Amino acid sequence: MARTITLDHITKIEGHAKLRLKVDRGKVKQCHLTATEGARYFEGIVKGRRYNEAHEITSRICGICSCAHVIAAIQAVEDALGHAPTKQTKQLRLLLTLGERIRSHATHLYFLSLPDYLGYESALAMAKNHRPELQRALNLMRCGNGIIATLGARDLHPVSATVGGWLRLPKEGDMQKLRLSLDSVKKDAIATCDLFNSLKYPEFESKGKYFSLIHPKDYPFLEGEFGFGKERVKKSDYRSFLTEYHEPDSTANFVVKSDKRYFVGALARINNNRKLLSVDAQKMLRQSGISLPSRNPYHNTIAQAVELVHCVDQALEICSTLKIKPEEVEKIAPRAGTGVGMIEVPRGTLWHEYTLDAQGIITRTNIITPTAQNLLNIQEDIRQFVPRVLKKPRAQIILDVEKLIRSYDPCFSCSAHFLEVDWK
C-alpha cells in the first residue's frame, strides 16, 4: 500500500520548508525536501553597490547568523582589495563569531531540538517542568548576544565591523564585563553537554562525507582550508570543487560535490578538528561516548554542545588577553579584483565571493550557505532512514524524520536566495 507523508510546514527550523515523502511496499518512491521561502535575490541586490556596502546588505540574509554574513562579506571584499586586516581586527572578528556561535547553538539546542527529545511540542511548553534548563539556555543566549552587542552595537545585524577594521572599538571595561559574563555561563555550557550527552539518539549513519575548514593550529573559525580527511581545497579553488544545481520547486539550492553528497556543521568540524578543541570541550566530548569520526547526523546536537564549551573557553581567552588599542578604520583604495570569504559559521562553511571593478563597484556575487550544502544530504538521509522505521506509527515516523531534519540545524532563510547558475 502506498503511503504519502507531506509535511507542509516543518516547524522549529529557521525559515520555511516542506517535505514530500511517498512510500510504496517498504520502498521510498519519492523524497523531496524543498525550501518554501520567497526568493530574495541577494546576489542581484548587491550588484552595482559599493564594496563597503555588501556586508550591511547581505547581513539581512539571516537573523541568527547575521554576524557570519557580515564577516564573510568583509573577508571576501578585503581579499578582492588585497588588504590584510590587523591582528586586533582579526581577534575582534573572531570574538564576534564566537558570540554568535554561542547564541546560535544555545537557541538551536534548547528551543528547536530539545523539545523533540523530552516529548514537548515546544520549549515554551517545557517552562513548567524544565525551568532550570530554559534558564540555562537564556543565560547562554544572553552571553552570546552580549558579546555581539558589545562589539557590533546590536545583537542582530551588527553594524560596527566594516571593511578595513572597526567603526567603534570596545572599551577596556567592556572586555572585563564580557569576561565576567563568560565566566558565569561556563557551568551552563558544561551542563548543556551533560544534558545532551544523556539523551538517546537513533542509530544511523549518513552516506555523506563531512567537510569543514581545517587549520593546523587552531579550531577553525575564520581561517583554514576546506577539507575532509586528507582532501584539501584552497578558498580560491572553491568553484572548481563545487557544482550547483537548482531543485525544481525550491528557492534554496542544492550544492553537490561531483554528484557526491556531503555535510557541513558542528559534527563535521569536530570530526576534522577534535584535537584542537579546548581541554574542557575535549573532556565533554569524551564523556559523550560517541566515537569519532561520526556520520550520525543526530550527533550534531552533541557536537554543538561541545562547541559551546569550546567557544566559551576561547572567548574567555580573548577577553582576558586582548588589550584594545585605538585603531582607525584603514583606508583602502578601490581596485578591480575578485575575492573570496570562507569561514565556519554555526551551521557549517559559508562562502561569499565578490568581483569589484576599478571604482570598487560590485559587479558579481556568489554566496553559498551551509544549508545549501546540507540540503541534498538531509534529503538523502531521510530516504535512507525511512525504510527502517516504517513499522512505527505515523506520528512516530514524522517525529523521527523531523528530528533528523532539525539535527542539521537547517536555515532555510539562509539557503533561500538565488545563486548563479552558469559558472564560467
Partner 1 sequence: MTKLKVGIYGITGCAGCQLSVIFNEDELLDLIEVVDLKAFPFIKEVNPDEQYDLIFLEGLVADKGDLEAAKKLRKNAKILVALGACAVTGCVPAYRNFTLKQNYEHLLYRKIRELQDVQPTPVDMHVRVDYYLPGCPPDKRQILAFIKGAVKGAIPRPTDNPVCVECRQNGNACLLEIGKPCLGPITAGGCNAVCVNGGLECWGCRGPTKDMNLPLMISLLKRKGFDEKFIQDRMRTFAGLKLPMLKEVLHGKNHHA
For partner 1, the binding residues in 116-155 under the rule CB under 8 A are 121-125, 127, 131, 134-135, 138-139, 141-142, 145, 152-155
* Nearest distance from C-beta of residue 323 to partner 1, angstroms: 20
Taking CA atoms, 37 is separated from 14, 87, 107, 379, in Å, by 10, 39, 21, 17
* Nearest distance from C-beta of residue 94 to partner 1, angstroms: 19
**Nine-digit cell string for 310:** 569550546
- Angstrom distance (rounded) from CA 121 to CA 102: 24
Q: Which stretch, 83-91, 262-270, 312-320, 413-421, contacts partner 1 (CB under 8 A)?
A: 413-421
Pairing outcome for strands 262-263 and 209-210: parallel
Q: How many CA atoms lie within 13 A of 352 on its CB side?
A: 31
Q: Which stretch, 45-53, 91-99, 335-343, 352-360, contacts partner 1 (CB under 8 A)?
A: 45-53
Q: Does 359 bind partner 1 (CB under 8 A)?
A: no
* Nearest distance from C-beta of residue 36 to partner 1, angstroms: 6
- Are the beta carbons of 250 and 34 closer than 8 angstroms? yes
Cell 521510498, located at residue? 28
* Nearest distance from C-beta of residue 249 to partner 1, angstroms: 7
* Nearest distance from C-beta of residue 63 to partner 1, angstroms: 2
Q: Does 300 bind partner 1 (CB under 8 A)?
A: no
**Nine-digit cell string for 262:** 556531503
Among 17, 21, 61, 376, binds partner 1 (CB under 8 A): 61
Pairing outcome for strands 17-24 and 262-263: unpaired
Cβ nearer to partner 1, comparing 4 with 11: 11
Q: Does 29 bind partner 1 (CB under 8 A)?
A: no
Q: Does 418 bind partner 1 (CB under 8 A)?
A: yes
Q: Does 56 bind partner 1 (CB under 8 A)?
A: yes
Cβ nearer to partner 1, comparing 232 with 246: 246
**Radius of gyration (Cα) for the chain, nearest Å?**
21
**Nine-digit cell string for 254:** 542544492
Cβ nearer to partner 1, comparing 81 with 252: 252
Count of residues near partner 1 by CB under 8 A: 73
- Angstrom distance (rounded) from CA 43 to CA 412: 16
Among 194, 231, 237, 249, binds partner 1 (CB under 8 A): 249
* Nearest distance from C-beta of residue 413 to partner 1, angstroms: 5
CB atoms within 10 A of CB 197: 18
DSSP annotation string for 264-325: -SHHHHHHHHGGGS-HHHHHHHHHH-PPSS---GGGHHHHHHHHHHHHHHHHHHHHHH--PP
Cell 568581483, located at residue? 355
Written as one letter, the residue type at 336 is: A
- Are the beta carbons of 81 and 162 closer than 8 angstroms? no
- Angstrom distance (rounded) from CA 363 to CA 341: 16
Among 17, 62, 163, 222, binds partner 1 (CB under 8 A): 62
Q: Does 410 bind partner 1 (CB under 8 A)?
A: no
Q: Does 251 bind partner 1 (CB under 8 A)?
A: yes
Cβ nearer to partner 1, comparing 112 with 267: 112
Four-CA torsion 356, 224, 55, 264, nearest 10 degrees:
120
Cβ nearer to partner 1, comparing 32 with 142: 142
**Of 397, 305, 366, nearest in space to 5 by CA:** 397
Among 50, 177, 283, 403, binds partner 1 (CB under 8 A): 50
**Nine-digit cell string for 263:** 555535510
Q: Which stretch, 41-49, 77-85, 178-186, 305-313, contacts partner 1 (CB under 8 A)?
A: 41-49
Cβ nearer to partner 1, comparing 216 with 248: 248
Q: Does 41 bind partner 1 (CB under 8 A)?
A: yes
* Nearest distance from C-beta of residue 83 to partner 1, angstroms: 19
- Are the beta carbons of 193 and 284 closer than 8 angstroms? yes
Largest CA distance in the chain: 71
* Nearest distance from C-beta of residue 295 to partner 1, angstroms: 27
Q: Does 326 bind partner 1 (CB under 8 A)?
A: no
* Nearest distance from C-beta of residue 132 to partner 1, angstroms: 11
Q: Which of residues 152-191 bind partner 1 (CB under 8 A)?
A: 152-160, 162, 166-168
Cβ nearer to partner 1, comparing 225 with 244: 244
Q: Which of residues 86-105 bind partner 1 (CB under 8 A)?
A: 103
